[in-house]
């Protein structure tokens, strides 16, 4: 009765792959076809209404490819990119690369999809706080991965306790309904939280368990007084006739009683549309499923050059652009040019792909998770407001 998750060792050995790669390897070996190739990683299309995505998962791909006979070029982790732009180039003998394609794409696609959704949510909320509460939507084996992807994408904090151990992120959270139900009384539960939990944890009381949010918010404010930092409304969907009107009423009532500094946190079913509807009223959003189960960013990997007769020959399947490419960018914003890898750099543009691994050796000191997140937020500030997309 195990957890059905692949071990790190099996992933590193290339055992977690698709059968057709093993067969291809056997056939090529039998025919003595050992060819050096350049494989490009890109997303040829993005989900509807998406103008960009956030490239994430690079650190894990480098961990996978380190010490393997390959050379890797990549854009930095956290780079915003558009459809068709080259994100990575992996160079080496095809038979050394083939079995890793499944894992490379799986890592990049999963990370990038979560980071992109987190970034969209954060772009819409901007100066308002986004807390990622999505772990209950995922297998626990990947909890740190999901928290890392969401944090890179720009959420302000994650609730996962294990992420402190794996990522060095301090978990953030409030209280579950279960606490209040076990006490059988909101006020007793809130006071117990205040008594037991460390002083540096903001007192954010859940105010939708038994009574109306307006009534419970005021009860929390009266019970905790100045110590109350905020209230969280996780209003059940069956009661959400008009969530904006509920939040307005809570804000009005708190203000009326002098609790003008009390923050309002809203969680449960929050996606892009809800952020837009509530962002001027709400101080923080708890977001789970919409980030944990985002639209998929279709990252793929294709041979674009083959080394023959002492030079790289451009080649590709139909529908893809042959030749290894460089992505040039002029900031602010995504003013991008795609040019052949060895073309002359256009003036004022920065080449985005750089060499990370040379014949298995890691050449670059990787940035911290906070540096990657900061890089994403800088770019988000340079792109225009999104057209919201519903999941
Ligand atoms: C909130 C909500 C969802 C969590 C946050 C994320 O949890 O009910 O389960 O929401 P989302 O996935 O819809 O974005 P809590 O209020 O803490 O849930 P409970 O009290 O039931 O543990």
Q: Quote the pLDDT of residue 385.
A: 82
- From 286, 293, 390, 391, give the residue whose CB has the most ligand 1 atoms within 8 Å, as the site to mutate: 286
Residue 27 lies in a domain: yes
Domain range for residue 178?
A: 126-292
Total-model pTM: 0.97
pLDDT < 50: residue spans in the chain: none
The answer on 206 and 250 residing in a single domain is: yes
**CB distance 230 to ligand 1 below 6 Å:** no
Residue 260 lies in a domain: yes
Measure Cα distances from 139 to 35, 41, 133, 143 in Å. 39, 27, 14, 7
Q: Encode pLDDT of 5-38 as tens digits.
A: 999 999 999 999 999 999 999 999 999 999 999 9
**CB distance 294 to ligand 1 below 6 Å:** no
The answer on 99 and 24 residing in a single domain is: yes
Residue 28 lies in a domain: yes
Asked if 321 contacts 302 with a C-beta cutoff of 8 angstroms, the reply is: no
CA atoms within 13 A on the CB side of 271: 13
Boundary-marking domain end, from 292, 321, 356: 292
The answer on 131 and 30 residing in a single domain is: no
Q: Quote the pLDDT of residue 192.
A: 98
User: How many domains, the chain?
Assistant: 2
> What is the C-alpha to C-alpha distance for residues 56 and 107, in angstroms, rounded to an integer?
9
The answer on 133 and 267 residing in a single domain is: yes
What order do you get walking across the sheet with 311-314 strand by strand? 311-314, 299-308, 36-43, 88-93, 71-74, 354-358, 361-362
Q: Quote the pLDDT of residue 387.
A: 78
Indicate which residue's Cα is closest to atom 9 of ligand 1: 268
Measure Cα distances from 183 to 176, 186, 190, 201, 202 in Å. 12, 7, 10, 21, 21
Output the six-digit token pair for 220.
């929390």
Q: Encode pLDDT of 271-318 as tens digits.
A: 999 999 999 999 999 999 999 999 999 999 999 999 999 999 999 999
- From 267, 284, 293, give the residue whose CB has the most ligand 1 atoms within 8 Å, as the site to mutate: 267
Residue 328 lies in a domain: yes
Indicate which residue's Cα is closest to atom 1 of ligand 1: 268
Residue 1 lies in a domain: no
Rounded to 5°, angle at Cα 361 from 359 and 364: 125
**CB distance 379 to ligand 1 below 6 Å:** no
> What is the C-alpha to C-alpha distance for residues 282 and 258, in angstroms, rounded to an integer?
18
Boundary-marking domain end, from 292, 307, 333: 292
> What is the C-alpha to C-alpha distance for residues 38 and 306, in angstroms, rounded to an integer?
6
């Amino acid at each position: 009765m195990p957890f059905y998750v692949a071990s790190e060792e099996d992933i590193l050995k290339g055992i977690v792959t698709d059968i057709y790669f093993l067969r291809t390897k056997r056939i090529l070996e039998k025919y003595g076809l050992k060819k050096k190739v350049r494989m490009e990683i890109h997303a040829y299309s993005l989900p509807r209404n998406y103008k960009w995505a956030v490239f994430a998962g690079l650190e894990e791909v480098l961990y996978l490819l380190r010490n393997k006979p390959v050379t890797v070029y990549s854009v930095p982790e956290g780079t915003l990119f558009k459809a068709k732009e080259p994100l990575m180039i992996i160079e080496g003998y095809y038979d050394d690369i083939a079995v890793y394609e499944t894992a490379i794409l799986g890592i990049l696609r999963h990370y990038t999809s979560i980071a992109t959704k987190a970034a969209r949510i954060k772009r819409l909320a901007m100066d308002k706080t986004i807390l990622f509460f999505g772990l209950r939507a995922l297998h626990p084996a990947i909890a740190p991965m999901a928290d890392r992807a969401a944090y890179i994408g720009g959420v302000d904090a994650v609730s996962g306790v294990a992420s402190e151990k794996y990522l060095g992120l301090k978990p953030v959270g409030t209280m579950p309904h279960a606490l209040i139900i076990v006490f059988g009384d909101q006020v007793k539960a809130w006071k117990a939280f205040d008594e037991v939990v460390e002083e540096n944890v903001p007192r954010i009381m859940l105010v939708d368990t038994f009574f109306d949010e307006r009534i419970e918010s005021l009860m929390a404010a009266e019970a905790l007084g100045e110590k109350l930092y905020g209230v969280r409304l996780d209003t059940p969907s069956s009661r959400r006739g008009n969530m904006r009107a509920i939040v307005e009423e809570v804000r009005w009532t708190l203000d009326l009683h002098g609790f003008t500094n009390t923050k309002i946190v809203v969680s449960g079913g929050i996606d892009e549309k809800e952020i837009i509807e509530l962002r001027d009223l709400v101080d923080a959003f708890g977001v789970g499923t919409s980030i944990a189960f985002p639209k998929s960013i279709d990252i793929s990997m294709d041979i674009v050059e083959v080394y023959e007769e002492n030079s790289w020959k451009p080649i590709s399947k139909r529908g893809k652009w042959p030749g290894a490419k460089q992505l040039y960018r002029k900031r602010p914003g995504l003013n991008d040019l795609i040019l052949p890898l060895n073309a002359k750099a256009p003036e004022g543009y920065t080449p985005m792909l750089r060499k990370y691994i040379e014949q298995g050796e890691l050449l670059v000191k990787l940035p911290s998770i906070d540096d990657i997140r900061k890089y994403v937020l800088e770019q988000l500030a340079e792109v225009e407001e999104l057209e919201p997309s519903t999941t």
